[in-house]
Amino acid sequence: MRRLLKYTTLILMVLLLSGSVWANTYTDHITTAPNNKGDVLVFPWFMAIDGGWQTKLTVINTDEVNSVVAKLIIRSFKNSEELLDFFLYLSPADVWTGIIRYNAALGKVVIYSNDDSALSQIVPSLVWANVTPINQPMFQLTCSDDSDALGYVEVIEAAAGPVAPATPGVAKLSIYNAYVALLSGAASALDFAGDIPQGFRINSLAGFMQFQNATSGLDASLQSTTLKDYANLEQMTTGAETRLGANALNNLAEVEASISKDDIALPYVKGNDIALHFFTFPTKLSDVASCGVLAPDSIYFRQNGDADYCLPYTVVTYDLSEHFPQSGSPFSGGGTSTNRFCNEVNFVASTLFEYAEGWAHYAFNQNTITVNYSNQPLTYEGTPVIPTYFYIGASGLSANYGAWTDELVFGVVATTSVNLIDYQYSDSTL
């Protein structure tokens, strides 16, 4: 009852005070989706390695009435460079699948799909992937120290709405034509009515990934990190890059607040199996105009990173009996050890840890940040990161998310500081 009263009081404060400076209403703030359905999916990593190692992506439109157009963006691990993007045309209850893999004949990483929810050709005529499969190589990297064999993937809803007959089985050409009409401003009342800029949007996208070996049959699955109520405003095309927070009802700071966390816990083993701890920073978004020191989009990384915009962190490992290294770090050599995450996708291998099995506690040096995007002040604690772990070894493959503490998010409504408890699903801030 006390928790309910506190939540109700905060809602009333926002309703009574004018001048909200975030997404258009209090309930429209972006948040992590507790039911894993939303309008933004982040697949926190992919790997495509010679020898049959590949990553299969699955995107589902769980709505049985509305069609959805979504932009899929593949980004590199170091600088979030856009390697490839294209559109998915999802009818009600539809699912798309595609595989990021190394193509030995081409000597390149490609995405392959024979699913009819994507196009393999537009000019001189439309060709769907079920007729001619997509086997598209990644585009050339700007920076030579980056890679297209490791990275992460975003799926952002571009438009949603009823397209006749508004039931499973809507023709993909009808969805394509409805989106073209929307972009041209000629959309009818039945074709994605009013989606851009006012917004008929649905949180119906769900995502799953599988890291697998096509030769041995080994497989590990992981859900996407799913965000809801992001509310894209951009009239997306493949001719222009789409970056999170650039043109939506929620800005980059709000996206970061929705995934901010600290005190990350990840299990590990070493020996017959090896654990990889992945840390993905999808909001860092480095500028690849030059390949020296890259200035990220995120003010968080500009303020909390070091001179190279790398993020310092500490890690303490525990064994199965709560022992931990007395130095407080499993790393040594060359004097004081400095631990940094410099990329958009980073990993730590359990071979560095002192014990055979246990868990690792990761913490970041900076836990509070106040940012101001377009005169929209927002304060949140923690670090905008997606932590996952991956086991590989004699017992096969497995993958999952870590554990963490969701952190506080504060804003200012009519000069009053308000604890915005709707940015994250966890009730730890109530």
The pLDDT tens digits for 103-123 are 999 999 999 999 999 999 999
Three-state secondary structure call for residue 163:
coil
Phi, psi of 121 (to 5 degrees): -155, 140
Looking at the structure, tell me whether residues 263 and 228 fall in a common domain: no
Token representation of residue 184: 């041209």
Domain that holds residue 114: 28-250
Three-state secondary structure call for residue 382:
coil
Looking at the structure, tell me whether residues 333 and 215 fall in a common domain: no
Looking at the structure, tell me whether residues 11 and 50 fall in a common domain: no
Q: Domain boundary residue among 250, 284, 306? A: 250
- Does the structure show a pLDDT above 50 at 14? no
Percent of the chain residues topping a pLDDT of 90: 55
pLDDT for 17 equals 31
Looking at the structure, tell me whether residues 33 and 125 fall in a common domain: yes
Looking at the structure, tell me whether residues 208 and 131 fall in a common domain: yes
Integer Cα distance of 406 and 258 in angstroms: 9
Integer Cα distance of 138 and 281 in angstroms: 21
Looking at the structure, tell me whether residues 190 and 174 fall in a common domain: yes
Q: Which residues pair with residue 384 across a beta bridge?
A: 260
- Averaged pLDDT score across all residues of the chain: 83
pLDDT for 324 equals 82
Residue with tokens 């506080």, as numbered in its chain: 408
* Dihedral over Cα of 373, 82, 88, 40: its sign: negative
Looking at the structure, tell me whether residues 176 and 202 fall in a common domain: yes
Looking at the structure, tell me whether residues 60 and 187 fall in a common domain: yes
Looking at the structure, tell me whether residues 42 and 10 fall in a common domain: no
Looking at the structure, tell me whether residues 160 and 201 fall in a common domain: yes
- Does the structure show a pLDDT above 60 at 363? yes
Which DSSP letter does residue 243 get?
Answer: -
Q: What is the mean pLDDT of residues 224-251?
A: 90
Q: Taking every pair of C-alpha atoms in the chain, what is the biggest distance, in angstroms?
A: 68
Q: Domain boundary residue among 250, 271, 292? A: 250
Q: Domain boundary residue among 220, 250, 280? A: 250
Integer Cα distance of 271 and 350 in angstroms: 9
Number of domains in the chain: 2
pLDDT (tens digit per residue) in 81-103: 999 999 999 999 999 999 999 99
pLDDT (tens digit per residue) in 366-413: 656 666 655 566 778 889 999 999 999 887 899 999 999 887 777 655
Looking at the structure, tell me whether residues 225 and 298 fall in a common domain: no
- Does the structure show a pLDDT above 70 at 197? no
pLDDT (tens digit per residue) in 54-82: 999 999 999 999 999 999 999 999 999 99
